[in-house]
Each structure stands twice: as structure tokens, then as C-alpha cells.
A = this chain, B = another copy of it.
Amino acid sequence: MTAPRIDGTRLLNRIKRLGAVGALPDGGVCRLALTDEDRTGRDLLVIWMRELGLEVSIDAIGNIWGVRAGIEDGPPVMVGSHVDSVATGGLYDGVLGVMTGLEIAAALDDAGTRTRKPFAVAAFTNEEGARFAPDMMGSGVHQGALDLSEMLATVGIDGAVLGDELRRIGYAGDIAPRSLVPAAFLELHVEQGPVLEREGVRIGAVTGVQGISWTEFTVSGQSNHAGTTPMAMRHDAGLVAARIAVEARAIASDFGPPQVATVGLVEVEPGLVNVVPQTARMTVDLRNTDNERLKAAEARLREAAARFAAEEGCAVTARSLARFDPVAFDPTLVDRVENAARQRQLGVRRMPSGAGHDAQMFAPNCPTAMVFVPSVGGLSHNINEHTEPHDLVAGAEVLLDVVLDLLGETQ
């Protein structure tokens, strides 16, 4: 009997074939959740699962999983991610995790391996949140963090209702949420950031997911003539917004890594060269792995915003657009990922994930971990997203090692 091994060519070929579904003219893909393209991608996944003899299930939010039986019954070790994309997505975000699950199932078959625990491959609905908010929806419903009926009623950016679209594309299953807690959950994903590439490290052992806080600030001042209004009589909403943006950067600097702060959106009205802005709307994205530090950053920002507004004679309101606590992955499982990489002579570093992933929905309920591989130039959510083939395969090999360990005694 030979040990199961990753067939890199087969893995890359499946990624390529799925990347042809919803392919964009200049590269990359558009498979927004529950569109015709998403359906075609799902259909291909289900065909592949059945070819591998997996028993396919579809739940009420459209999550798909296929189970390879173990010697014993009981919860499976699950490998999963998503196959939906943003509007201008790359080939690997999500797809890598699901295709690696298929490849592990194929590798087990090739080696004639029977495992103690069952093994499952899963693809979760609407991880991206690009058509329907919130993101990580399927895994959130699957693990009970989000309410099924509320999610089915979600209206997309195109006016479509999520439940209708699920039925339309034939993926409204009947399995209830919270019906499956795996024995363990693992997800291989591209880093979507520049750290591994910059450090020349090939494997990230992901320790958890940063907590995320999105706040929208709306500043109300007074529109005035830029020439005739003395500075002392101004109520410049745009200036308050600029000071908040500078403060957000100062918070990130003062707190130090892993604290990050981003002002992605600023809009001023009326937006004319010679008119003092009457209103400004802006967003601040704060992230930290430590919830207490994140709360401190949020408090400092809100306090500063109120102070800047008061100094300018403006009003400011703060609205939370999103708030996720940090997630810590299973320390033992993170160690296993790190050790598996070392045993394969791969450079490895422990790191938090800056982005959200399906795995974080499993972390409260079962041992969970993630493996990262480098993103060239740190690019993601971009048609030029790229990971070198040897890194994709290395990540799959590390995942295979951890999964085999978890699946237990083989014969």
C-alpha cells in the first residue's frame, strides 16, 4: 500500500476547469453567488463529487458537501471553502480550498486508503457577500451563527431575493442548519495579502481571524463660499473627515501590528472647488486579533471624531456597518499545520488572517485551522490574483498531511 499523495496536475486542472466557468475576457472570473455562472460551477463540483463516489448533500441555504465514508460512523473531518467569486475575482480565492478537498478524496482513492473517520468536502454559499450581504453566509447558517429565514429573505444588489435565486438555480436543499458539526474543519486559502511573499515563506499556519469593525461616520457642517467665509466662521465637514482619516492612521501606528486601519470611502457634498463641504461620509475599517485592543481602537476613534466635529462646530454620527469578534483557531491544529510544513521542509510562519473566511464560522464549534499559501503581489479580489503552482501544491500537501492525521489509523 502506498501513502496517499497529491497529484498536482490533477488539482491544477480542476482549478483551471472551474476557472473557465464565468471567465472574464481579460482573465479572472465572475461567479457572483446564485447566478447562472455560480450554478454552472456548482454543477461541475457536484459532478466531480459523484465521480469520486462522495455522497452529496445540499442544505437549505445551498451549501454542498460530499462525504467519503470512514470505517466508523460519526462526524467527518471536513475540508471546505467556497466557489462563488466577487465580480472581478481570481481563480484561487475559495476554489483552491474546495478543489484541494476533492484532490484529497481522489488521493485517498488512488492509494486505496480507508480512514477511521469519514472525510467531507464542502462548498459554502455566498462567502463573498458581493451580491448578497452579509458575507460568509452559507457557513454562518450551517454553523448556526446566522438565521436561515432571514438570510433567505436577503435582497441582492440587483434586487433578487436570495431564496428565490436558490430555488431558481436548483440548490435549495432540505437539510436544516446546525445539523452537522464536523470532527474538525480545515481550509486551504490564498493569503490575499503580501506577507508570505515578502518574507519568502511558503506556508502560513493561520492562528485565527482578525476581529473586524466597520464604522460609517457622517459629518454635518455648513456649506459656505470658499472666498467670502472667514476661517473662524466655517463648519467644514470635509476637514473633520480628513482629521478622522489621519487619526485612523495614527491609531494603527500607535497600537502597532496587527492593528490595521483603513479609510476606504470618503464622499463630500456638494463637492465643488469653491464651496466648503456641507456633509462628509466616510468609512473606517479597523481590525485586530485582540478584541480588547480592537475595542480600544474603536473607542479612541469615536472619541476623536466627536472632538474634531465639536472643534469645527459640526455634528457627527457613527454607525456600525459590521462587527466581528476575533476568532482563534485550535492551537493543537495550528501546531499540526506548522509541523506538517516543517516536515516537508517548507518555510512556515504563524499568522492571523486579515480577511474573513468560512473557517471562522466553524471555530466556535469544532477544532478548526487554516493553511495559507502566498499571493503574488498580495493581490486578491482582482483578475490578476495569482499563486505559483508549486505553492498551490505545497499547500495541498500540508493540508493532506493534517487531514490524514485527523482521519485516524488507515488501512
Interface string of A208-249 (1 = CB under 8 A from B): 001010100000000011111111010010110111011001
Residues of B within 8 A of A253 (CB): 231
Task: Please provide the chain A residues from 239 to 265 with a CB less than 8 Å away from any CB of chain B in the complex.
Answer: 239, 241-243, 245-246, 249, 252-253, 257, 259-265
Q: Which residues of B sit under 8 angstroms from A4, Cβ to Cβ? A: none
Residues of B within 8 A of A285 (CB): 226-227, 273-274
Among residues of B, the one whose C-beta sits closest to the C-beta of A274 is B285
Interface of A: prevailing SS: mixed
With A214-B273, A242-B242, A265-B271 as known contacts, state yes or no: A260 contacts B229, CB within 8 Å: yes
Nearest residue in B to A286 (C-beta to C-beta)? B226
A272 CB within 8 Å of chain B: yes
**Quick check: is A336 within 8 A (CB to CB) of the other chain?**
no
Contact of A262 with B274 in the complex, beta carbons under 8 Å: yes
User: By the criterion CB–CB under 8 Å, are B192 and A260 in contact?
Assistant: no
Interface residues on chain A, size class: 35 or more
* Nearest CB in chain B to that of A228: its residue: B193
Distance (whole angstroms) from the CB of A255 to the closest CB of chain B: 10
- Enumerate chain B residues within 8 angstroms of A193, measured Cβ to Cβ: 225, 227-230
Interface 9-residue window, one of A114-122, A275-283, A361-369:
A275-283
Q: Check if A14 is an interface residue, CB within 8 A of chain B.
A: no
Chain B CB within 8 A of A10 CB: no
In the bound complex, CA of A231 to CA of B274 (Å)? 34
A195 contacts B by Cβ under 8 Å? yes
B273 touches A378 (CB 8 A): no
**What's the least CB distance linking A247 to chain B, in Å?**
9
Nearest CB on B from A385, distance (A): 11
Contact of A226 among B198, B226, B259, B287 (CB under 8 A): B287
Residue of B nearest to A224 (CB): B378
Q: Tell me how far the C-beta of A98 lies from the nearest C-beta in chain B, rounded to whole angstroms.
A: 20
Residues of B within 8 A of A241 (CB): 242, 266
Asked if A90 lies at the interface with its beta carbon under 8 angstroms from chain B, I say: no
Residue of B nearest to A242 (CB): B245
Q: Is A355 an interface residue (CB 8 A)?
A: yes
Instruction: Indicate if the CB atoms of B260 and A226 lie closer than 8 Å.
Output: yes
Do B239 and A263 touch across chains, with their CB atoms under 8 A apart? yes
Tell me the minimal C-beta distance from A4 to chain B in angstroms: 31
A225-B192, A238-B264, A242-B242 known; A257+B230 contact, CB < 8 A: yes
**Within 8 Å of chain B (Cβ to Cβ): is A330?**
no
A308 nearest CB across to chain B (Å) = 10
A268 interface residue (CB < 8 Å to B):
yes
Docked CA distance A194–B368 (Å):
63
Residue A191, interface by CB 8 Å: yes
* Alpha-carbon distance A321/B226, docked complex (angstroms): 15
Give the distance in Å from the alpha carbon of A355 to the alpha carbon of B249 in the complex: 36
A380 interface residue (CB < 8 Å to B): yes
- Chain B residues with CB under 8 A of A350: none
Residue from the list B212, B236, B260, B264 in contact with A275, Cβ < 8 A: B264
For A262, give its contact among B194, B257, B276, B321 (CB under 8 Å): B276
Q: Is there contact, CB below 8 Å, between A273 and B266?
A: no
Contacting A229 at CB < 8 Å: which of B194, B263, B265? B194
Q: How far is B226's CA from A353's CA once the two chains are assembled, in angstroms? A: 11
In the bound complex, do residue B225 and residue A355 qualify as a contact, i.e. CB atoms below 8 Å apart?
yes
Minimum C-beta distance from A295 to chain B (A): 17
7 CB-based A-B contacts, threshold 8 Å: A227-B354, A231-B252, A233-B378, A236-B262, A238-B263, A238-B264, A273-B285
